[in-house]
């Protein structure tokens, strides 16, 4: 099977989020109610401000289990840096000097274009800057690395890095999601071998890409590994995803989004494209405008200048491009230590960066792409200048940051004919906008 397009055409045509059902350990038994709706000052999830990391896409602490600094074809995630435009220093930090060419679509350009979720027409001034991101070769980030965490890690980053940790410290900041305690048995899903079952996920902050579900048999006293999950990737039973609005604003309906087993890892595993396009510019939101927020990314090694024992490099992608930063060369590409002369400190998510009074060329974060991918007459409020690819329904577009997505995505999965017993299912979301992989894991029982 090359690509799932509709129930009648099944052949060669062609982040923050979390699994909701089966209920993952990282949800801490929470359900979607008034206590965790965004803006409610809810007690369930932690964040830099009360009430954030909330809503349907982040029940409990579920959306805070992921890994950053992950690149396609690279065995190691650096666990630092959410860089939008990767540079060689990012790859080196992930132990991967030169990733292979993307495998998405298996070399078929038409298929690849249909599966892409970001800058699909290469209209960015920065060229094909997502080619190293996880979704460009689904499942290959962390390949062969026994330390890759199939259930994510608390905060997604190194324990020493300033990423928001979870509230429930069942595992330490930077600790593995596999160490989370099991939920009560009455919250486990029960699946019958050979049957078709439902799995459900939702988005808190969109990052494009696509996802897969995998199965691993429970071994007493042994934490599940990525290798174990890779042995039993689950197949999608239908070509359709059901959209469910949890606020009751719309009745459930089905959409068809591409699903592929071409160019994926492990070979033959099925991955489904994220059906919710972001807005049509590099940053994916607020296209055509500016913001005072700085999407600060890893500095490049261009324009070097030695200041004492530090290296000053150009930082091309903050709002005033060309500002100078100083960092120990061994610390690149993470937080700065000292600013260059004429620059002032700027703080972002606990890291220190630098701003300068002599800006360089304007950045390209918010420049709209030429191809809008809008339907005739379509003027979405979320993305008025266009979307990364065609929308499948009104309201199904945008960044979703802050819990604005009130819908979940439900897929039907084929349970293989496996031995009855206790299992764990892992949902893995490989992003295309950023070098990030999201994970949720749930305990289930499979019966005969």
* 209 in the same domain as 322: no
Can you give the pLDDT at residue 416?
97
* 271 in the same domain as 294: no
Cα–Cα distance for residue pair 99/128, rounded to 1 Å? 14
* 307 in the same domain as 222: no
* 121 in the same domain as 53: yes
* 246 in the same domain as 106: yes
Can you give the pLDDT at residue 352?
55
Cα–Cα distance for residue pair 348/330, rounded to 1 Å? 21
Cα–Cα distance for residue pair 265/259, rounded to 1 Å? 14
* 48 in the same domain as 149: yes
Per-residue pLDDT of the chain (448 residues; tens, 9 = 90+): 333 332 222 222 226 899 999 999 999 888 887 777 776 665 555 544 556 788 888 888 889 999 999 999 998 999 987 777 887 878 888 888 887 899 999 999 999 999 999 999 999 988 999 999 999 999 999 998 988 999 999 989 888 776 777 777 788 888 999 999 999 999 999 999 999 999 999 999 999 999 999 999 999 989 999 999 999 999 999 999 999 998 888 999 999 999 999 999 999 999 999 999 999 999 898 898 754 333 333 334 444 444 444 444 444 333 333 334 444 333 434 344 455 555 666 654 445 555 554 433 335 778 899 999 999 999 888 999 999 999 999 999 999 877 789 999 999 999 999 999 999 999 999 999 999 999 999 999 999 9
Residue 383 belongs to some domain of the structure: no
Residue 373 belongs to some domain of the structure: no
* 315 in the same domain as 358: yes
Cα–Cα distance for residue pair 104/84, rounded to 1 Å? 20
* 126 in the same domain as 258: yes
φ/ψ of 115, rounded to 5, equals: -90, -20
Does residue 430 contact residue 210 with C-beta atoms inside 8 Å?
yes
Residue 375 belongs to some domain of the structure: no
pTM: 0.83
Residue 438 belongs to some domain of the structure: yes
Among 365, 389, 408, the domain-final residue is 365
- Where helices occur in 207-263 by DSSP H, the ranges are 226-230
Q: Which residues pair with 240 in a beta bridge?
A: 256
Counted domains in the chain:
2
* 169 in the same domain as 37: yes
Residue 432 belongs to some domain of the structure: yes
Residue 379 belongs to some domain of the structure: no
User: Which structural domain, as residue segments, surrounds residue 182?
Assistant: 3-276+398-447
* 295 in the same domain as 272: no
Does residue 287 contact residue 129 with C-beta atoms inside 8 Å?
no
* 323 in the same domain as 187: no
* 172 in the same domain as 252: yes
Among 340, 365, 390, the domain-final residue is 365
Residue 390 belongs to some domain of the structure: no
Residue 131 belongs to some domain of the structure: yes
Cα–Cα distance for residue pair 80/59, rounded to 1 Å? 24
């Amino acid at each position: 099977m090359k690509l799932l397009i509709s129930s009648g055409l099944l052949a060669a045509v062609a982040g923050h989020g979390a699994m909701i059902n089966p209920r993952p350990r990282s949800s801490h038994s929470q359900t979607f109610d008034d206590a965790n709706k965004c803006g409610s000052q809810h007690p369930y999830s932690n964040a830099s401000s009360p009430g954030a990391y909330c809503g349907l896409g982040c029940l409990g602490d579920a959306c805070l289990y992921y890994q950053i600094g992950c690149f396609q074809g690279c065995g190691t995630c650096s666990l630092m840096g959410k860089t939008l435009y990767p540079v060689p220093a990012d790859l080196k930090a992930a132990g991967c000097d030169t990733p292979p060419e993307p495998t998405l679509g298996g070399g078929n350009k038409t298929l690849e274009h249909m599966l892409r979720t970001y800058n699909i027409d290469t209209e960015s001034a920065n060229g094909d800057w997502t080619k190293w991101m996880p979704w460009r070769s689904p499942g290959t980030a962390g390949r062969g690395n026994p330390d890759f965490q199939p259930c994510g890690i608390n905060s997604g980053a190194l324990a020493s890095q300033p990423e928001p940790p979870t509230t429930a410290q069942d595992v330490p900041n930077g600790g593995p999601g596999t160490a989370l305690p099991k939920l009560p048995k009455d919250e486990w899903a029960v699946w019958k071998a050979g049957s078709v079952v439902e799995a459900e996920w939702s988005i808190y902050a969109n990052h494009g890409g696509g996802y897969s579900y995998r199965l691993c048999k429970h071994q007493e006293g042994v934490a599940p590994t990525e290798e174990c999950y890779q042995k039993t990737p689950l197949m999608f039973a239908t070509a359709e995803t059901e959209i469910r609005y949890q606020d009751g604003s719309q009745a459930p309906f089905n959409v068809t989004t591409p699903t592929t087993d071409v160019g994926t890892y492990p070979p033959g595993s099925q991955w489904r494209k994220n059906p919710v396009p972001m807005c049509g510019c590099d940053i994916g939101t607020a296209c055509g405008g500016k913001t005072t927020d700085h999407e600060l990314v890893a500095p490049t090694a261009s324009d070097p200048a030695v200041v004492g024992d530090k290296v000053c490099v150009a930082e091309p992608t903050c709002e005033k491009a060309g500002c100078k930063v100083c960092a120990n060369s061994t610390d690149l590409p993470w937080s700065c230590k000292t600013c260059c002369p004429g620059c002032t400190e700027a703080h972002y998510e606990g890291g220190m960066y630098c701003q300068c009074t002599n800006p360089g060329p304007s950045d390209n974060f918010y420049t709209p792409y030429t191809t809008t991918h809008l339907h005739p007459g379509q003027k979405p409020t979320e993305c008025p200048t266009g979307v990364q690819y065609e929308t499948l329904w009104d309201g199904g577009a945008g960044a979703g940051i802050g819990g604005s997505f009130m819908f979940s995505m439900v897929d039907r999965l084929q349970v293989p004919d496996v031995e009855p017993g206790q299992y764990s299912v892992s949902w893995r979301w490989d992003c295309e906008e950023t070098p990030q992989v999201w994970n949720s894991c749930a305990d289930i029982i499979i019966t005969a």
